[in-house]
Amino acid sequence: MAALENAVVLVTGGGRGLGRAHCLELAAQGAAVVVNDPGVGRDGDGGGAGPAADVVAEIKAAGGNAVPHTGSVTSWTDAADMVRTAVSTFGTLTGVVNNAGILRDEMITSATEQAWDAVIAVHLKGTFAVTRHACDFWRAQAKAGRQIDAHIVNTVSGAGLWGNIGQSAYSAAKAGIAGLTAVTALEMRRYGVAVNAISPLALTRMSAQFFSDRGSDPALDPACASPVVAWLQSAESSWLTGQILRIDGGKLSRVDGYTEAPHHYPAADGARLQYGEIGQAVSWLWGTAPRGLAGPLPVR
């Protein structure tokens, strides 16, 4: 029995790059796949049914089962229709891979409202819209007494975790997806839904400019991330939720969220920090001392 034999997974942005690799791996593991891709360019312009249809053809040629969907994740009604398509075609939906994305890189001083809105709409709103409709389906199923073992895999990025020059909108969107992953995991655990994210390093049309010196590096093959995605869609992973996994070629790492450093600087009066001691406090927290002091201050 294949690992995902009874799974039905919706993959957004499934026509190219990472999404295509995920679709092929999911199908190879036995899942039926809804391949969503409106066929737009790297910047979100244009469109066409070709990419989604091509991946569906690949899956079927290999003996798998798949159906195309060309709606946009930025459309509330299209997102709802993706879920309906899975259920009407395959009888259910067991998982979502939120992978759709575009790039419109601009420095913060030249960033435009239009570019910002477009990037946020695809990455952040799109992830939310598809997630919301899928979760609504699973919640209704759970309330009807059905046993749910569902999985969401979101896509974040090093740019969202640590920032990147020229990518204010993309980084903000990916950071937002990390937060959305944590919240959805907390809210949906009671209904049997595990929610995690991946942060993959991969050479795609979106990332080509950043890896121009590593174009032939097999570690950047988008398919390197796909077995992790498939595992996160399996019952074996259901215990794990609210987490981010970093994938760099053959290396898998755990990404921890924001944590409070172990040391703290107490107020002089023990109750409230005064303006005059903030500089001293911050310098101590970062391991340096304000000018005029011999060294880091001791903890009171």
pLDDT tens series, the chain, 300 aa:
799 999 999 999 999 999 999 999 999 999 999 999 998 766 556 666 789 999 999 999 999 999 999 999 999 999 999 999 999 999 999 999 999 999 888 999 999 999 999 999 999 999 999 999 999 999 999 999 999 999 999 999 988 889 888 899 999 999 999 999 999 999 999 999 999 999 998 555 554 455 555 556 666 577 889 999 999 999 999 999 999 999 988 899 999 988 888 888 888 888 899 999 998 888 888 886 544 444 445 544
Residue 286 sits in the same domain as residue 178: no
- Give 3-state DSSP helix, strand, coil % of the chain, rounded to 5: 45, 15, 40
Residue 172 in domain? yes
Residue 270: domain span: 260-300
Residues forming beta bridges with residue 252, ordered by sequence position: 247
Indicate the number of domains in the chain.
Answer: 2
Q: What does the block give as tokens for 52? A: 């989604």
> What string of H, E and C letters represents the secondary structure of 176-240?
HHHHHHHHHHHHHHHHCEEEEEEEEECCCCCCHHHHHHHCCCHHHCHHHCHHHHHHHCCHHHCCC
- CA–CA separation, 24 and 59 (whole Å): 6
Residue 16 contacts residue 204 (beta carbons within 8 Å): yes
pLDDT (0 to 100) of residue 21: 96
Residue 231 in domain? yes
Instruction: Identify the H or E element spanning 80.
Output: helix 76-90
Residue 26 sits in the same domain as residue 175: yes
CB proximity list for 84: less than 8 A, separation 6 or greater: none
CATH of the domain at 227: 3.40.50.720
Residue 157 sits in the same domain as residue 139: yes
Q: How far is CA 122 from the centre of its chain?
A: 12
Residue 159 sits in the same domain as residue 264: no
What amino acid positions are annotated as catalytic residues? 170
Residue 1 in domain? no
Residue 135 contacts residue 49 (beta carbons within 8 Å): no
Residue 164 sits in the same domain as residue 290: no
Residue 61 sits in the same domain as residue 144: yes
Side by side, the strands of the sheet bearing 32-36 are 65-69, 32-36, 8-12, 95-98, 150-155, 193-201, 244-248, 251-255
Closest Cα to residue 191, out of 231, 249, 258, 142?
A: 142
